[in-house]
Amino acid sequence: MLYKFTLLSLIVVLCNLHAKAQESIIIAKGNPVITDKYTADPAAFVYGDSVYLYTGHDVAPKSKNNYEMHEWLCYSSADMITWKAHPSPLNVKDFKWAKDDAWASQVVERDGKFYWYVATEHATIRGKSIGVAVADNPRGPFKDALGKALITNDMTTDVKITWDDIDPSVIIDNDGQAYLFWGNQKCYYAKLKKNMIELDGSIKTINIPDFTEAPWIHKRKNWYYLSYASGFPEKIVYAMSKNINGPWEYKGILNKIAGNSNTNHQAIIDFKGKSYFIYHNGSINTDGGSYRRSVCIDYLHYNNDGTIKRIVMTSEGVKKAN
């Protein structure tokens, strides 16, 4: 018995050492933050004293004018400058029902568990779908929480495209109610049950102008903010509401077209007293572009009335957060 226990402990220690050995350190030198890989569709959240940044991984060769993405990546930082690159904690292959395409995603924490909502192509139900993986640690390993997709294309029939069920964004409101937002061409939302892996009620659509994709839902001082990609090539715009069920008041452009990438996909967080706008562009000047994107970070500033100032995209990026 003691022998078995010791062996098990040894295996756990060796696994941890292996994971640590695969970690590498990145010191951001302005934007883009990560330059050794193409990273896209950032999502981030603060846990403990660190920011956890999750991205997709663009691996399309320069000759290919389409997305090629098979896994998601995880980075963490206690100061927004020194980033730990963790071993990839989630791959499309971790969802047995999925075919390919590790598209946009978001991780949220509830009661010490970490839920990773992802968009990916379904193997048997035509179109994109949303799955959810779960872990006990923000760095994973994550495993499929449901064994099937949470949202499939046949559940949303408002638009006749096969990629309208993408770009999940989740908020847990102050009263504990969680909501999932997602969409392309139509913005959808639904309540999630407390277990975070089942819908609680029907799927609703949101009436906001010129919605393309990439909804990001966040709350600050009793205002709900719904930012999203608009037009194509995309700029990021936003709407505000005092009620998560709307009506949403359109507030205009938050971030202009990047110029070097068709998409711009944003995440918005507060960390150590500052607000950040995390997005991607195609600015790595060797092979970067719409299908080889890179995560960037700039400051986000609120006005006194809660509206948000236009983002200034910089190549210097942000300073060390203390």
Task: Report the catalytic residues.
Answer: 41, 213
* CA 195, chain centre distance (Å): 20
Give the length of the chain: 322
Binding residues with ligand FUB: total (CB under 6 A): 13
Binding to ligand FUB, residues 91-150 (CB under 6 A): 103-104, 119
Nearer to ligand FUB, 66 or 303 (CB): 66
The site map against ligand FUB for 187-216 (x = CB under 6 A) is: --------------------------xx--
Residue 58: CB minimum distance to ligand FUB, A? 7
Query: Contacts with ligand FUB in 233-272 (CB under 6 A)?
Result: 263, 265
Can residue 217 be called a binding residue for ligand FUB (CB under 6 A)? Answer: no
In whole angstroms, give the CA distance from residue 167 to residue 84: 25
Closest CB to ligand FUB among residues 40, 134 = 40
| Of 35 and 263, CB closest to ligand FUB | 263
Q: Least distance in Å: CB of 213 to ligand FUB?
A: 5
- Min. distance of Cβ 56 from ligand FUB in angstroms? 5
Task: Give the nearest distance from C-beta 18 to ligand FUB in angstroms.
Answer: 29
Q: Which amino acid is residue 57, in one-letter code?
A: H
Q: Is 88 exposed, middle or buried (0-12, 13-18, 19+ CB in 10 A)?
A: middle
Report the candidate in 41, 13, 64, 55 with the shortest Cα–Cα distance to residue 280: 41
With binding defined as CB under 6 A, does residue 40 bind ligand FUB? yes
One-character DSSP codes across 139-179: T---EESSSS-SB-GGG--SS--S--S---EEEE-TTS-EE
Q: Which is nearer to ligand FUB, 166 or 254 (CB)?
A: 166
- Name the burial class of residue 282, with classes exposed (0-12), middle (13-18) and buried (19+) by CB atoms within 10 angstroms of its CB: buried
Task: Name the 3-class secondary structure at 251.
Answer: strand
Q: Name the residues that contact ligand FUB, by CB under 6 A.
A: 40-41, 56, 67, 103-104, 119, 166-167, 213-214, 263, 265
